[in-house]
Structure 1
């Protein structure tokens, strides 16, 4: 997952169209959740631009559907959104200021040290 500062993460989806059935339905489902899906050049790889909340919504929507060929995307997105940068963790806590350390760890699968560092950084920034 690549993230530019103050931007949404870019997740590469290798051989996206070859792995899924009903790709047009999946593309519209991703766009309904606010994600942006683009093809990388002329390759068969695609790129998903979405915030943490949008990725969570995409995972939930795909799990609610019963299309088996889409499950690889759930696995891929789950792995990718566990590798969040410090800036992404800060933006998550900014959107929900009352979040606890354990809740942040549960949502993002970060370590206790990372969660405490993020919350302490925002609390003592004032």
Structure 2
């Protein structure tokens, strides 16, 4: 696990989930090792923590009140997926995609991963020889 701090923005949090749910979410976040705080004096909020605490917070919110905290859960999960995608090397990601779906086209690989055609061809070749 990495100790890098991940931050995600929660625009209009109180308007979306309510004041009481925001207070509950702040308490749960502190228990999980995250921090939900307001950005200066605006109506926007942010949640900060490491990868492990983000996963823990998402699970706890999903178990406690999934319908009330849906916005918060979705934002945390979206941030975790983008964070994990950035950690994976492009070659490994391409190879994984080709192995998962052997009928994927080069254009689809390029669209999903924003890679060049040569990288997509190398990934296809490596997966076929694997």
TM-score > 0.5, shorter chain as reference: yes
Structure with the largest fraction of helix: 2
* CA separation of 1:111 and 1:62: change in aligned 2, threshold 3 A: farther
Q: Which 5+ residue runs of structure 2 have no aligned equivalent?
A: 96-130
Of 16, 26, 39, the match for 1:19: 16
Q: C-alpha displacement at 1:114, in angstroms?
A: 4.6
Say how many residue pairs are matched: 91
CA spacing shift, 1:41–1:65, aligned 2, 3 Å: same
Gaps of 5+ in 1: 1-5, 91-109, 117-126
Decide whether the 8 Å contact of 2:26 with 2:35 is kept in 1: no
1:36-65 Cα shifts (integer Å, max 9, x gaps): 122111111111111010000000000101
Detail structure 1 runs of 4+ shifted over 4 Å in the superposition. none
The structure number with the bigger radius of gyration is 2
Q: CA RMSD in A?
A: 2.8
TM-score under structure 1 normalisation?
Answer: 0.61
When normalised by structure 2's length, the TM-score is: 0.59
Q: Residues 1-126 of structure 1: matches in 2 within 5 Å? A: 7-21=4-18, 22=20, 23-84=22-83, 89=87, 113-114=92-93
